[in-house]
Amino acid sequence: MSYQALYRVWRPQTFVDVVGQSHITRTLQNAIVQNKFSHAYLFSGPRGTGKTSAAKIFAKTINCKHAPTKEPCGTCEACVGIQTGAIADVMEIDAASNNGVEQIRDIRDKVKYAPSAVSYKVYIIDEVHMLSIGAFNALLKTLEEPPKHVIFILATTEPHKIPLTIISRCQRFDFKRITQQTIVSRMQSIMEKEEVDVTQEAYHAIALAAEGGMRDALSLLDQAISYSQETVQLDDVLAITGSVSQANLMRLVEALQNNDVRLALTLVDQFIQEGKDPARLIHDMIYILRDLLLYQTAPALENTMERALVDEHFRSVATQLAATWIQQTIGELNQCQQDMKWSNSPKIFIEITLLKITEQKNDAQSEGSHHEQFLQLTEKLDKLEKELTQLKQHGVTTNQGTEGNATTVKKRVVPSKNHYKVPFERIRQVLAQAEKTHLKQIHSQWATFMQMLKQQNAPAHATLQEAKPSAASEDSLIIAFRYEIHCSLALDHKQTIESLLLELIGKNIIIIPIPEVNWQEVRQDFIEKQRQQHQEQDVEETEEDKIITEARKLVGDDLLEIHDK
């Protein structure tokens, strides 16, 4: 007999063999035993999770000689005939190649005839989402009210493509991805019976590459057995899947963490020269970082790891990485993954992404240093402003005279050349013309503006670090600063700031700095005046309405003419 693939030899024959879907198999078994099964089912879920296998087992169980039973016996004529395809009453139809109206009409015409060899006719329509609209419409009435001896089982990987009118006429069961632990256990059980040696690391790598599909796992295992010599090793699995080992992935992570760009680029070049799949490399990197982040947050969730085997090296690296760095790196790799889909040169995108990751870390370290200096400067400014306020309020104290006699002389504090004069009248004009849309436009570009300003002029960026765009008209922007001295400094960089705003917003905008304290006062005063104006206007309109009412009483509507002022 010719060789058969593992996934065909070990295809589930009973509900027990359908691993990882106990929430479905238990429900079906109970329905069969209680003789309460439906006339139509929809099995949806990822590929290789047991949809068509469960459908065939269901067909065998309800037609088994020992029915009602939880499992088919597998030995009676009905079970054997359905398994081999010899019984025509159980039909498995591929909707991808039989998606026309004619094929569905043929089914509709045949369902009215009673089964010839078993108790129930069962139609298993695989990849049902491939049916045409006309075919769905032809199936609709039959699906709603089929004869008592007919059961439809629809299987699909894309249930969102099925019309709701079809879904509402079926009992829906959602098959889920099979966990890695379950896939490994199933493969181990099969390999014990096949008497093939496979290492634990190889099992884990196959389960990871299968992405929740049992059929994919058995196909990869079959391929690895053919590739290996005697025992299936991790390197054998990595060779056929194009994956990179965990040890090498951790080396790449450490190189990025240590800003070793040369080593990171060398490793990527080495992986691709060895034939590793670039897309798989980024996929594995994202998941190894996800596992590191998860382990940092909750070490007890070790069994939920997607890519990593938790060993000493893994634990060591997890303690060295900052959570924020991991999150940013995952974001960059995810963007790289998207860009690579449309490129014929994926390696270039990987290299650019690695450079971005290391640059971000350098920027973060530099920004942290600048931030500390800025905080120190802010503290000094706070202290100086307090002292200046005290001098303004109490004057200057000097010691004069002899023999310990002290005399206090009050002197007026003369503003320094750096004293900032707030342009109150200009600010009131801007407030009168201000609109929320103008301010929203500024806010939407502010983060980009600050980033570009940082690159062009670091002192200007430091000055605006804690500034806040507070109001804007068509051509002016009021910026509130925490300290008065920052207003003066902002004017020193006025040309740079306004030219950059022109580049981003597309129009000339004049900046008007104001200290936060003064801004609150001006804003409140403006709001109060606006409120008073509205109240006065309402009073005038009310008085005018009274005059018009009296006039109507005197002359009537026909002779009354009303003119606006």
Give the side-chain half-sphere CA count within 13 A for 169: 21
Domain-embedded: residue 484:
yes
The first and second tokens of residue 17, run together, are 């063999």
**Nearest Cα to 442, choosing from 470, 481, 482?**
470
Query: How many whole angstroms separate alpha carbon 516 and alpha carbon 537?
Result: 32
Which of 119, 147, 174 finishes a domain?
Answer: 174
**What CATH number does the domain containing 101 carry?**
3.40.50.300
Question: What percent of the chain clears pLDDT 90, i.e. is strictly above it?
Answer: 35
Helices marked H in 274-345: 278-297, 312-320, 323-340
Residues 265 and 188 in one domain: no
Residues 220 and 108 in one domain: no
Cα separation of the two ends of the chain? 106
Query: How many whole angstroms separate alpha carbon 241 and alpha carbon 203?
Result: 13
- Angle CA(167)–CA(173)–CA(179) in degrees, nearest 5? 140
Residues 202 and 277 in one domain: no
**What CATH number does the domain containing 299 carry?**
1.20.272.10
DSSP 411: -
pLDDT(220) > 50: yes
Domain-embedded: residue 382:
no
Question: What percent of the chain clears pLDDT 70, i.e. is strictly above it?
Answer: 85
**What pLDDT sits at residue 45?**
92
**What pLDDT sits at residue 80?**
92
Residues 67 and 158 in one domain: yes
CB 516 within 8 A of CB 479: no
- In Å, how far from its chain's centre is CA 554? 73
Q: CB neighbours of 355 closer than 8 A, spacing ≥ 6?
A: 261
CB 42 within 8 A of CB 162: yes
The first and second tokens of residue 512, run together, are 């008007």
Give the model confidence (pLDDT) of 323-379 as tens digits: 889 999 999 999 999 888 887 888 888 999 999 888 876 555 544 555 556 666 666
- In Å, how far from its chain's centre is CA 38? 38
Q: Please indicate whether residue 428 or residue 537 has the higher confidence score (pLDDT).
A: 428
Average pLDDT over residues 58-70: 92
Residues 151 and 17 in one domain: yes
Burial of 535 by CB count in 10 Å (0-12 exposed, 13-18 middle, 19+ buried)?
Answer: exposed
Question: What is the residue-averaged pLDDT of the chain?
Answer: 84
- Angle CA(190)–CA(196)–CA(202) in degrees, nearest 5? 85
**What pLDDT sits at residue 563?**
62
Residue type present at position 502 = L
Taking the whole predicted model, whether its pTM rises above 0.75 is answered as no
Query: How many whole angstroms separate alpha carbon 353 and alpha carbon 334?
Result: 10
Residues 215 and 355 in one domain: no
Query: How many whole angstroms separate alpha carbon 513 and alpha carbon 503?
Result: 20
Which of 174, 202, 230 finishes a domain?
Answer: 174
Residues 436 and 530 in one domain: yes
Q: How far is CA 495 from CA 4, 194, 448, 509, in A?
A: 77, 78, 18, 11
Predicted confidence band of residue 417 (pLDDT cuts 50, 70, 90)? very low
**What pLDDT sits at residue 203?**
92
**What pLDDT sits at residue 564?**
58
Domain-embedded: residue 374:
no
pLDDT(319) > 90: no
Instruction: Say whether 292 sits in a helix, a strand or coil.
Output: helix
Does residue 346 have a cis peptide bond before it, meaning omega lies within 30 degrees of 0? no
CB 241 within 8 A of CB 280: yes
Domain-embedded: residue 394:
no
Q: How far is CA 151 from CA 38, 49, 62, 123, 133, in A?
A: 7, 22, 10, 6, 22
Secondary structure of 218-245 in the HEC alphabet? HHHHHHHHHHCCCCECHHHHHHHHCCCC
Residues 209 and 271 in one domain: no
pLDDT(545) > 60: yes
Predicted confidence band of residue 18 (pLDDT cuts 50, 70, 90)? very high
Predicted confidence band of residue 402 (pLDDT cuts 50, 70, 90)? very low
Give the model confidence (pLDDT) of 92-130 as tens digits: 998 888 778 888 888 888 888 888 889 999 999 999 999
- Angle CA(507)–CA(508)–CA(509) in degrees, nearest 5? 110
The arrangement of strands across the sheet holding 510-515 comes to 468-472, 476-481, 510-515
Please give the radius of gyration of the chain, using alpha carbons only, rounded to the nearest integer: 38
CB 89 within 8 A of CB 116: yes
Domain-embedded: residue 385:
no
Residue type present at position 119 = S
How many helices (H) and strands (E) the chain has is answered by 23, 8
Residues 78 and 141 in one domain: yes
Residues 207 and 259 in one domain: no
Give the model confidence (pLDDT) of 270-287 as tens digits: 999 988 889 989 998 998
pLDDT(415) > 50: no
Give the model confidence (pLDDT) of 140-153 as tens digits: 888 888 888 999 99
Q: Please indicate whether residue 432 or residue 459 has the higher confidence score (pLDDT).
A: 432
Predicted confidence band of residue 408 (pLDDT cuts 50, 70, 90)? very low
Residues 153 and 186 in one domain: no
Residues 117 and 71 in one domain: yes
Q: What is the dihedral of CA 69, 72, 78, 80, to 10 degrees?
A: -170
Predicted confidence band of residue 138 (pLDDT cuts 50, 70, 90)? confident
pLDDT(172) > 90: yes
Domain-embedded: residue 232:
yes
Residue type present at position 247 = A
Average pLDDT over residues 218-237: 91
Domain-embedded: residue 414:
no
Most confident of 221-225, 384-388, 465-469, 546-550: 221-225
Question: What total number of domains does the chain contain?
Answer: 4
Domain-embedded: residue 413:
no
**What angle do the packed helices 246-257 and 346-394 form, to 10 degrees?**
30
**Nearest Cα to 343, choosing from 279, 283, 267?**
279
Predicted confidence band of residue 63 (pLDDT cuts 50, 70, 90)? very high
Query: How many whole angstroms separate alpha carbon 176 and alpha carbon 45?
Result: 6
pLDDT(257) > 60: yes
**Nearest Cα to 290, choosing from 308, 275, 273?**
308
**What CATH number does the domain containing 229 carry?**
1.10.8.60
**What CATH number does the domain containing 424 carry?**
3.30.300.180
The first and second tokens of residue 90, run together, are 């159980």
Neighbours of 81 (CB within 10 A): 18
Provide the domain limits for residue 217: 180-241
Query: How many whole angstroms separate alpha carbon 97 and alpha carbon 100?
Result: 9
Neighbours of 227 (CB within 10 A): 14
**What pLDDT sits at residue 361?**
60
pLDDT(397) > 80: no
**What pLDDT sits at residue 297?**
85
